[in-house]
Amino acid sequence: MQRRLARGLLGTALLLALVGGCALLNSPPIAHIAASILSGESPLLVAFDASGSVDTDGRIVAYRWTFGDGTTAEGIEVDHVFAPSSPTTYTVTLEVEDNGGAIGTMQQSIEVRITPDPDNDPPFARFTFDPTHGDAPLFVTFDATLSSDVDGEVVLYAWDFGDGTTGSGPQISHTYNPVATTNYPATLTAYDDDGASTSTTAIVSVFVQEVVPFDGPTAEFTASDPEKVYDSPQLPTVPSLFRVTFTPEGSVAAPGHEIAVYIWNFGDGESASIETDDAVEHTYRSGAPSHTFIVSLTVIDDQGLQDSVVDNITVVND
């Protein structure tokens, strides 16, 4: 009788140990952070995505973010604006919790820069070019010697010719040779000796007489009204941020053909090249009362023929 009782107690103890062991076997989830950008100037808008986080033996029930600037958020996808007044490196922490109460964490550093001297006046970017239009191939000479700086000197002249090529120097030449008539936004960015910069843009029109219009594609797009996603209290030292959505509506290829690539130039030195007609979002920075960006869309079809269209986007700091 005592032996049977002992065996019963032993079986109960073993069962409890197994149950407790199962609880101890819950593996913590694995946190994963994907950030849209890891460094930039203040204010810096960063999109965070935790959808790559996994739990091998259950499911994740909570996503908690700590941004390192005293603010927090919850959710799989979150946006955050870092707006320091001095250079700062933030440590962003993601904490994920599974249905068994286990916790997994990951950290990501975000570096935010500012203009080195907030009291420095930015330079004036000015340039002339000749010719302003003509038939392809078109050889154009650019001259930025009219640029100036009231409290220093211009030390760098950076050029974006609008066709995917760049250059530097106060005077420079470039040859445009498109396969279809194209308006190119040529942009000069002048940098002074304190690191401040200013950009200005002009259009170079290059004509290709041989292309029959209905054989090639047609470029068209629409743009949403600029949405202010960050209203800076420190203008003009720290700029505000504006989000605009662009859609290539109306862009079509000739019958029997299709558009192979959509090339966006957002007019602020950034561009994008995609192979679909999906809408694209872009965030502009401006510390001025208002600023106009010249946006272009170039579409290239499966024949290698292309067409471009240009529109203005104006952002306003009320």
Sheet bearing 103-113, strands edge to edge: 39-41, 103-113, 88-98, 60-66, 72-74
Q: Pairing relation of β-strands 197-207 and 133-135?
A: parallel
- Do you find a cis peptide bond into 43, omega within 30 degrees of 0? yes
Q: pTM for this one?
A: 0.51
φ/ψ of 159, rounded to 5, equals: -115, 140
User: Residue 235 is which amino acid?
Assistant: L
Structure confidence at residue 283 (pLDDT): 95
- What is 119-211's CATH superfamily? Immunoglobulins (2.60.40.10)
Reported as a single tens digit per residue, the pLDDT across 67-85 is 999 999 999 999 999 988 7
> What phi and psi values does residue 268 have, to the nearest 5 degrees?
-125, 20
Note the CATH architecture for domain 34-113. Sandwich (2.60)
pLDDT at 292 (0 to 100)? 87
Give the pLDDT score at 14: 46
In which band, very low, low, confident or very high, does the pLDDT at 210 lie, cut at 50, 70 and 90?
Answer: low
Closest CA to 111 of 197, 41, 158, 12: 41
Amino acid in the structure at residue 317: N
Q: For residue 133, what pLDDT is reported?
A: 93
Quick: pLDDT tens for 248-278: 988 999 888 999 999 999 999 899 999 999 9
Instruction: Taking residues 177-199, report their average pLDDT.
Output: 87
Spell out the residues 6+ positions from residue 223 whose beta carbon is closer than 8 angstroms to its own: 244, 245, 246, 247, 295, 311, 313
As beta bridge partners, residue 142 has 129, 172
pLDDT at 22: 44
Higher pLDDT, 196 or 45: 45
Element (H, E) at 9: helix 2-24
The correct CATH number of 212-318 out of 3.40.1160.10, 2.160.10.10, 2.40.37.10, 2.60.40.10 is 2.60.40.10
pLDDT at 5 over 60: no
Give ranges for CATH 2.60.40.10 in the chain. Answer: 34-113, 119-211, 212-318
More confident residue, 212 or 254: 254
